[in-house]
Amino acid sequence: MTRLTVAAGLGLAALIAASPALAQSIATAVVKAGDGKDAGVVTVTEAPRGVLLKLELKGLTPGWHAVHFHEKGDCGTPDFKSAGAHVHSAATTVHGLLNPDANDNGDLPNIFAGPDGSATAEIYSTLVSLKGAGDRPALLDADGSSIVVHANPDDHKTQPIGGAGARVACGVIK
């Protein structure tokens, strides 16, 4: 029975490896606070029409926080401005999930950190892909991208970042 289970598992693994449609593409971001302390991990999984994020964060101020995909895979400065602007596919960007004119592909819903500063969430976005599927911006393009957590919640309307405030944590998506 054990040999059969192992053989079936190996057969399934070979089938997935041979069929890109069945294989999942997964990227991760180790998130750090501005002082360099560990702030958690974000896993991004390619889906047929977008990406699924699993956020496991800690060390945040309790309350709501904006989360956005940023255009550069660079969290090298303590203020995380090295991550650039939000991921976008148009020259002129309009921010906000609640804005009918929005074209900012980096927009995501807010997350909530509990009294201990931890936040765990799953978020689905149809606005990006890992490698450019469906003509959506690729998170794993030549200059990469990052996931940035802001000090305040995003109101999903105000330009340019929804009143989200300072960047308090950042992770390069790899």
Which parts of the chain have pLDDT scores under 50?
A: 1-19, 21-23
**The amino acid at 122:** E
- The predicted pLDDT at position 14 comes to 45
- 134 within a domain of the structure (yes/no): yes
Number of domains the chain contains? 1
Q: Locate tokens 């300072």: which residue?
A: 166
Closest CA to 150 of 44, 79, 50: 79
Residue 50 has a pLDDT of 96
In a domain, 4, yes or no: no
Q: Write the burial class of residue 44 (CB in 10 Å: 0-12 exposed, 13-18 middle, 19+ buried).
A: buried
Residue 137 carries which DSSP code?
P
Confidence at residue 164, expressed as pLDDT on a 0 to 100 scale: 95
Query: Shortest CA distance to 29 belongs to which of 59, 61, 66, 69?
Result: 69
On whether residue 5 sits in a domain, the answer given is no
Q: What does the pLDDT read at residue 89?
A: 86
Confidence (pLDDT) at 23 = 47
User: Is 2 part of a structural domain of the chain?
Assistant: no
83: number of Cβ within 10 Å = 26
Residue 75 in any domain: the answer is yes
Domain extent, residue 146, equals 24-172
pLDDT for residue 173 = 98
Q: Which CATH number is 43's domain given?
A: 2.60.40.200
Q: Is residue 13 part of a domain?
A: no
Cα atoms found within 13 Å of the Cα of residue 54, Cβ hemisphere only: 7
Q: Which of 21, 41, 23 is nearest to 31 (CA)?
A: 41
